[in-house]
Structure 1
Amino acid sequence: MFKNYFQVAFRNFRKGGLSSFINVASLSIGMSVAMLIALWLYDELTYNKQFKNYDRIAQVIQNVSNNGEVQTWWSVPYPLANELRTNYGADFKSLVMAVNWGDHMMTIGDKRLKATGGYFESEMPDMFTLDMLQGSRNALKDPSSILISASAARAFFNNENPVGKTLKIDQMPPVKVAGIYKDFAANSTFANLGFVASWKSWYHANNDLKDTEDPWRPNFVTLFAQVNDNVSFGAASLKIKDAKLKKVNEQLQKKKPALFLQPMSKWHLHSEFKEGVNIGGAIKYVRMFSAIGLFVLLLACINFMNLSTARSQRRAREVGVRKTMGSLRSQLILQFFSESALMAAMAFVISLLIVWLSLPFFNRVAEKQMHLPFTNAWCWLAAIVFVLVTALLAGSYPALYLSSFKPVKVLKGTFKAGRLAAIPRKILVAVQFTVSVCLIICTITVYRQIQYAKNRPVGYSRANLLTIPLASGKVHDHFEAVKAELLQTGTVAAVAESESPTTGIWNSTSGFSWPGKDPNLSTDFGVMTSSLDFGSTVNWQLQAGRSFSRDFPTDSSAVILNEAAVKYMNLSKPLNQFITWWGKPLKVIGVVKNMVLESPYGEAKPVVYTLLNYPGNVAILRLKPGAAASEAIAKIEPVIKKYSPDQLFEYKFVDDEYARKFGDEERIGKLAGIFTLLAVLISCLGVFGLTTFVAEQRKKEIGVRKVLGASILDVWNLLSKEFVVLVAAAFVIAGPLAAWFMHDWLQQYTYRASLSWWIFAAAGAGALCIIIITVSFQAIKAAVANPVKSLRTE
């Protein structure tokens, strides 16, 4: 019986011609989109799940009150780890501190390479279950030892066995390779972690840290915790809430630090906080793409429904004969489901090929390392379910509709689908274009928000500006000589040294007071410490006063404020006012326009600019206009290496670094744009098929109209106006839906674009043009056909 079903289904597929092609093509595209999104969702939802202790690991973070708001900090003071071990140890199986996590210069003999790594306490390998290929997880108990990843071992030592060999990290004492671990998965917080060094080695090498007056003040440690099996994250969070508050000084107590545990399951998708409350994060994109994948697949299924029911009169006689011969309705339903299953299976095979071919491009756009898991049995089971669900979704309405025909009417020749039969098809077409118009509006809004933030005034000039990381204090010790030689290259216009680059604030602090300040107010201002020529190098915009100058020796005790700081301090006449920083008086000599130093979507933070009297982290250079970048770099590198020969020379253009701040939004925008185009294509395929069928069905009517004097425009209008009306109805529904959704999405950004009317007008006009172009091909083809051929049988 089932063999007969599929034989009949295959014959109907071959007879379907254009209709069958459109069904398989649209289903293939829809299934490809759904599969790509499913791979992306799987990658996102399984983030960090490769760790055996996944459901027991958390990060200790804190909420603090600053500048009148509750901020969430992901770093804590280093004495906190010992405090939790000593007084709250019953709740924790293990606690691990991590510091200086980022890029470092590795020196192996004469070879220098950059690697990502950090300094961890010795329990780290056990907590995160490092998969050791060589050596032991306990190696970090020896501060002079280091563990490296398999990829780092290949990069550092080629095919040699690295265990037992020594290397240097930055300017630290040499360490010995004690083991090799398997690389972490790409969808992991620890992806690309090339080495794990000992916290103790870092601590003993930093005398300033050991000698600090108040170790509870600086927050620079990432603290991981593994709770015991019988302890919940919520219960442990309540117990440790005031662990820091009890230890800090009176000034810091005003910040009301409250500790809590952020489970590993929320690190990636639930990482955003507002006023101390978790408001989500990347989970919003998971939900968005889940909806897009479902809708795009639905659009393809709607095409199948529409084209199947549109051909109802052609299938009516078949249904009548089968019922007369004794076929039950359930058997007919199975017959029609077998047809949808056959097309879904064919579409799935094609979609696999499409996904396999497009996955490299998709990985580049999404910055992922996904692949089709052909060897996974669960994957194939999911694929079978996916095909069956698609077949059920696409074939349900046609099967129920076609199997309901009365054989008496059909065989008498009195059966006609009638006008009411077309209503469900019109509704489904309207649904298709409602989804398409919504996606168009959302995609335009995402791109507009990105461009709006990109075009935001940043308060300085990014053009021709580059930063060079400084690995040691050697450049600082000879800064004037370095500056003079760089200027003599003829490619450099200005040079400055800074604690932070212009694309981030690496230092923030409290302890500021000013006239009229509420003594109970806790503050946290960004501090940009730099050399005298910082302002002229970055071309900041002075609003009042002056920049730092060599002509004023007292500028070592002076500050420059940005507009946000002046506004927050409520200083009506800031120039020559004195503010204090931990009791030290500082004179305000200038006010500069707010520089966008952090998120381009957020409000500018109050920033205090001071003069640098210790080694900076970066050199900031402005190239001369018209200077070729390659030529300039070739001349700059020898100067830096002359004074800092042990340094791995690197440079970053500020324009590129600033552009990276838009990475997540741009990736989401590109993916949304691609899926929107495919959704519109699927809708157009369906409309094209329906137009072809309607033109064929009304061929004789068109012939009669042409004989009676109808013009090509009249015939085009006859076939097109129905679809134009449907698109107009879709726009009326889609506009408010998209406006509501995108208004909610834009609220996450402080600096955001508005939902302008032209976005909706452009989406509506675009959808209308697309439908007109799609319909016009068949409409004009029918309009110019010779009426003699269509009327010959009459």
Structure 2
Amino acid sequence: MFKNYLKAAWRNLLKNKAHSFINITGLSAGMAVAMLIGLWVWDEVTFNHYHKNYDRIATLKQNQLLNGGIDTWQSMPYPIGDALRNSYGNYFKHVVMSSWTQPHLLTVGDTRIMKNGNSMEPEALDMLSLKMQQGTYAALKDPYSIVLSASLARTLFGDANPMDKLIKIDNKDELKVTGVYEDLPANTSFASTTFFLPWEYKLITDKWIRENPNPWGSNGFQVFVEMADHMDMAQVSRKIRNIRLDHQQPDERKFHSQIFLHPMRKWHLYEQFKQGVNTGGRIQFVWLFGIIGVFVLLLACINFMNLSTARSEKRAKEVGIRKAIGSFRLQLIWQFFGESLMMSVIAFVLCLILVQLMLPFFNEVADKNISMLWGSPLFWLAGIGCTVITGLVAGSYPALYLSSFQPVKVLKGTFRVGRLAAVPRKVLVVVQFTVSVVLIIGTIVIFRQVQFARDRPVGYNRDGLVSVDLMATEVADHFEAVKHALQSNGAVTEIAQAESPLTQVWNTNGGFDWKDKDPSLSVDFPTTGVSPEFGKTIGWQFKEGRDFSREFASDSAAFVLNESAVKFMGLKNPVGEIIKWDGMSFHVIGVIKDMIVESPYAPVRPSVFCIAKNPNNFLILRLNPAASATEALRKIEAVFKQYSPAAPFSYKFVDLEYARKFENEQRIGKLSSGFAILAIFISCLGLFGMATFMAEQRTKEIGIRKVMGASVLNVWTLLSKDFVMLVVIALLIAAPLAYFGMYKWLQHYEYRSGIAWWIFAVTAAGAVIITLLTVSYQAIKAALMNPVKSLRSE
């Protein structure tokens, strides 16, 4: 019996090639989208699952009362690790102090490379359950040791055994390789970390740690913990919340620091905090794309149901004859389910091929390293299960509907599909285009939000600005000589020093006091130390006052404030005002327009600029516009090599670094637009099939109308207006849904665009035009048909 079902299904597929092609193509496209989204979602929700005890690992965060609100930080004072061990040691299996991931210069013989690494306490290797290829979890106990990833070990030592080999770090100390671990996958928080250094080495080499007079008053490090067995993370989090507050000096308690544990399972998807409360994060995109995947697959199923039920009259006699010779309705249901399952299986095979071909492009757009999970039983179980469910859902309506035909009426020729029979098909078409229109509107809003933020004034001139990370101090120590050489050879027009890059905030400070300041107000401002040439080099824009100058010795105790700082402090005439910082007096010499250093979607924080004694972290250079960038960079590198021959020349264009701030939203926009195009494609496949059927169904009617004098335009209008009306209804439903959804999405951004009326107008016009183009081929083809052939008797 089953064999007969398969034969009948296969013959029916071959008999209706166009119908089968449209159905299978639509299903395979829908499945491919659903599978790509499923792989993306799986990659997101399994983030950090590489670490065996990820559900018991957490990082310390703190809420502080700052600038009139609550800020959430991950940066911690370094004594907090010992305090946790001494006071709450039985709550934790591991407490690990860590630096921030940052680049270091590694030198082995003639090989010099910059790689990211972390300084962490020895227990980190065990806590993170690294897969050690060589060495043990005790590999970081020696202060002058280093543990490498497998790929970094191959880069530095080739096929030679790296164990016990020496590596010079940052042109200073030589460290011994004591371990090699398997490369971490891309979907872990430590994926960018290619080596680990001992925490003890950090304490030995970091002068700031050794000489800090108030270690509990400064932040600068990370703390990771692994809970002891049977300990509840939420309860422990409540118990340790005042650990910093209890150790702070009296004047610092106004920050009301509250420590809490943020679980590793939430680091990636729930990374956003607002006013001390976790507000989600990337989880919104997981839900968004998950829903899109389900709906796109649903669109493909709708196509199948629509086309199958639309062709019901052509199969009515088949059903009648089968019933007349003894077929039960259940047997007919299984036959139609068999046909839909066969199509679904064929579509699944095509889907696998499509996904494999599309993955490289998808990974590039999504910035992922996803691969097909060929060896995963769960993947095949989900794939086959989804195929069966899709086949059953797609074939449910045809199977139940077609099998219900009464054989007597069919064989007597009195069976007619009623007018109401077309209502479900029309509803499904409306659902299809509703989903497609919502996707199109959402994509336009996302791209418009990105462009809105791009067009926001940044407060300085990014063109031709280059930031050079100084791994060694030799260049900064000879700043005047380097400056003279670069300006003399025509490589740059301006050059300055800075403590932090232009597109990030590295330092924030409190301890500021000014006239009429509320004594209870605690503040924390981004504070950047620069050389006097900084403002002229980057081209910041003054609203009041003047720039720093080497001609004024008093500028060593001067501030330049941004607009937000002046507004926050309530300074009506800021130039000349005295601001105290940790008891020292500074006079305000200038006010600049707000510079976007952090997120372009958020308000600019009150910021302070001052002259630093040794701002030797970065050099900011403005390339000479009269010379090519390539030639200018070659000249700059040559000068740098004169003073620091061992250090690599590492530079970044500031405009490219700024552009990276939009990558996440652009990525989401590109993915959404791709899914929207596929949704429209699937919907149009269905429309094309429906138009083909309607043209066939109304062949005689069209012939009569043409004999009676109807023009091609009249016939085209007749066949097109019903589809246009369905799309108009879909637009009326989709518009409020899209508006509500995108309005909620935009609320995540404090600096956001509106939802303009023209977005809906353009989408509506586009949907109608696409509909007309889709159905016009069949409509015009039917209109041009010779009425003699149309009216010829069967």
TM-score tier by shorter-chain length is over 0.9
Once residues 233 and 760 of structure 1 are traced to their aligned partners in structure 2, the CA distance between those partners, rounded to angstroms, is 47
Equivalent position of 2:603 in the other structure: 603
Equivalent position of 2:259 in the other structure: 259
Contact 2:70 2:275 in 1 (8 A): yes
1:168 CA drift (Å): 1.6
Task: Tell me which amino acid in the other structure corresponds to 2:332.
Answer: L
Q: Deviations over 1:11-32 (max 9, x none)?
A: 1111122111100000010000
Q: Deviations over 1:267-318 (max 9, x none)?
A: 0000000011101010001000001100100000000000000000011111
Equivalent position of 2:227 in the other structure: 227
Secondary structure, aligned partner of 1:327: coil
Task: Tell me which amino acid in the other structure corresponds to 1:412.
Answer: K
Equivalent position of 2:503 in the other structure: 503
Once residues 503 and 130 of structure 1 are traced to their aligned partners in structure 2, the CA distance between those partners, rounded to angstroms, is 33
Equivalent position of 2:761 in the other structure: 761
Q: Deviations over 1:473-529 (max 9, x none)?
A: 222221111111111121311101001111111111100011011111110101121
Task: Tell me which amino acid in the other structure corresponds to 1:784.
Answer: L
Equivalent position of 1:415 in the other structure: 415
Contact 1:240 1:260 in 2 (8 A): yes
Aligned length: 794
Q: Deviations over 1:654-682 (max 9, x none)?
A: 11100111111111111111111000000
Equivalent position of 2:560 in the other structure: 560
Equivalent position of 2:618 in the other structure: 618
**1:295 matches 2:288:** no
Q: Deviations over 1:715-737 (max 9, x none)?
A: 01000000110111000000000
1:331 CA drift (Å): 1.6
Once residues 250 and 481 of structure 1 are traced to their aligned partners in structure 2, the CA distance between those partners, rounded to angstroms, is 47
Alignment map for 1:697-736 (pairs within 5 Å): 697-736=697-736
1:102 CA drift (Å): 1.8
Q: Which moved more, 1:57-66 or 1:314-323?
A: 314-323
Secondary structure, aligned partner of 1:375: coil
Equivalent position of 2:39 in the other structure: 39
Secondary structure, aligned partner of 2:420: coil
Equivalent position of 1:53 in the other structure: 53
Alignment map for 1:527-546 (pairs within 5 Å): 527-546=527-546
Once residues 249 and 148 of structure 1 are traced to their aligned partners in structure 2, the CA distance between those partners, rounded to angstroms, is 40
**1:137 matches 2:137:** yes
1:534 CA drift (Å): 0.6
Q: Which moved more, 1:66-75 or 1:376-385?
A: 376-385
Equivalent position of 2:273 in the other structure: 273
Alignment map for 1:121-520 (pairs within 5 Å): 121-520=121-520
Equivalent position of 1:18 in the other structure: 18
Alignment map for 1:575-614 (pairs within 5 Å): 575-614=575-614
**1:4 matches 2:16:** no
Secondary structure, aligned partner of 2:619: strand
Structure 1 pair 90–569 and aligned structure 2 pair: CA distance change class (3 A): same
Task: Tell me which amino acid in the other structure corresponds to 1:289.
Answer: F
Secondary structure, aligned partner of 1:216: helix
**1:738 matches 2:741:** no
Moved over 6 A (4+): none
1:760 CA drift (Å): 0.8
Contact 2:135 2:179 in 1 (8 A): yes
Equivalent position of 1:82 in the other structure: 82
Contact 2:438 2:737 in 1 (8 A): yes
Secondary structure, aligned partner of 1:141: coil
Once residues 177 and 760 of structure 1 are traced to their aligned partners in structure 2, the CA distance between those partners, rounded to angstroms, is 61
Once residues 397 and 278 of structure 2 are traced to their aligned partners in structure 1, the CA distance between those partners, rounded to angstroms, is 43
Task: Tell me which amino acid in the other structure corresponds to 2:94.
Answer: S
Q: Which moved more, 1:25-34 or 1:617-626?
A: 617-626
Contact 1:74 1:222 in 2 (8 A): yes
Contact 2:529 2:615 in 1 (8 A): no
Once residues 560 and 376 of structure 1 are traced to their aligned partners in structure 2, the CA distance between those partners, rounded to angstroms, is 59
Task: Tell me which amino acid in the other structure corresponds to 1:278.
Answer: N
Contact 1:525 1:608 in 2 (8 A): yes
Once residues 302 and 708 of structure 1 are traced to their aligned partners in structure 2, the CA distance between those partners, rounded to angstroms, is 37
Task: Tell me which amino acid in the other structure corresponds to 1:653.
Answer: F
Contact 1:492 1:621 in 2 (8 A): yes
Q: Deviations over 1:444-463 (max 9, x none)?
A: 00001011111110000111
Task: Tell me which amino acid in the other structure corresponds to 2:453.
Answer: A
Once residues 416 and 317 of structure 2 are traced to their aligned partners in structure 1, the CA distance between those partners, rounded to angstroms, is 11
Equivalent position of 1:653 in the other structure: 653
1:792 CA drift (Å): 2.2
Equivalent position of 1:637 in the other structure: 637
Task: Tell me which amino acid in the other structure corresponds to 2:543.
Answer: Q
1:216 CA drift (Å): 1.0
Equivalent position of 1:108 in the other structure: 108
Secondary structure, aligned partner of 2:188: coil
1:573 CA drift (Å): 0.7
- Structure 1: unaligned runs, 5 residues or longer: none
Once residues 495 and 683 of structure 1 are traced to their aligned partners in structure 2, the CA distance between those partners, rounded to angstroms, is 57
Task: Tell me which amino acid in the other structure corresponds to 2:54.
Answer: Y
Q: Which moved more, 1:97-106 or 1:386-395?
A: 97-106
Once residues 95 and 734 of structure 2 are traced to their aligned partners in structure 1, the CA distance between those partners, rounded to angstroms, is 51
Once residues 787 and 164 of structure 1 are traced to their aligned partners in structure 2, the CA distance between those partners, rounded to angstroms, is 90
Q: Which moved more, 1:128-137 or 1:296-305?
A: 128-137
Q: Deviations over 1:656-714 (max 9, x none)?
A: 10011111111111111111100000000000010011011111111111111111110
Secondary structure, aligned partner of 2:471: coil
Contact 1:183 1:192 in 2 (8 A): no
Once residues 419 and 100 of structure 1 are traced to their aligned partners in structure 2, the CA distance between those partners, rounded to angstroms, is 69
1:326 CA drift (Å): 2.3
Once residues 171 and 10 of structure 1 are traced to their aligned partners in structure 2, the CA distance between those partners, rounded to angstroms, is 72
1:55 CA drift (Å): 1.3
Equivalent position of 2:686 in the other structure: 686
- State the Cα RMSD in Å: 1.0
1:652 CA drift (Å): 0.3
Contact 1:99 1:119 in 2 (8 A): yes
1:472 CA drift (Å): 2.5
Once residues 231 and 50 of structure 2 are traced to their aligned partners in structure 1, the CA distance between those partners, rounded to angstroms, is 22
1:788 CA drift (Å): 1.4
Contact 2:57 2:227 in 1 (8 A): yes
Task: Tell me which amino acid in the other structure corresponds to 1:453.
Answer: A
Q: Deviations over 1:394-424 (max 9, x none)?
A: 1111111111111111111111112111111
Q: Deviations over 1:59-84 (max 9, x none)?
A: 01111111011111011111000000
Secondary structure, aligned partner of 1:75: coil
Contact 1:576 1:588 in 2 (8 A): yes
Once residues 649 and 59 of structure 1 are traced to their aligned partners in structure 2, the CA distance between those partners, rounded to angstroms, is 34
Secondary structure, aligned partner of 2:291: helix
Contact 2:100 2:222 in 1 (8 A): no
Structure 1 pair 793–437 and aligned structure 2 pair: CA distance change class (3 A): same
Once residues 482 and 589 of structure 1 are traced to their aligned partners in structure 2, the CA distance between those partners, rounded to angstroms, is 28
Once residues 762 and 724 of structure 1 are traced to their aligned partners in structure 2, the CA distance between those partners, rounded to angstroms, is 16
Return the TM-score normalized by structure 2: 0.99
Secondary structure, aligned partner of 1:88: helix
Contact 2:131 2:182 in 1 (8 A): yes
Task: Tell me which amino acid in the other structure corresponds to 1:513.
Answer: D
Contact 2:450 2:662 in 1 (8 A): yes
1:264 CA drift (Å): 0.7
Task: Tell me which amino acid in the other structure corresponds to 1:584.
Answer: M
1:793 CA drift (Å): 2.0
Secondary structure, aligned partner of 2:95: strand
Once residues 375 and 160 of structure 1 are traced to their aligned partners in structure 2, the CA distance between those partners, rounded to angstroms, is 32
Task: Tell me which amino acid in the other structure corresponds to 1:778.
Answer: Q
Contact 1:95 1:226 in 2 (8 A): yes
Contact 1:251 1:511 in 2 (8 A): no
Once residues 406 and 477 of structure 1 are traced to their aligned partners in structure 2, the CA distance between those partners, rounded to angstroms, is 95
Secondary structure, aligned partner of 2:543: strand
Equivalent position of 1:96 in the other structure: 96
- Structure 2: unaligned runs, 5 residues or longer: none
Task: Tell me which amino acid in the other structure corresponds to 1:298.
Answer: L
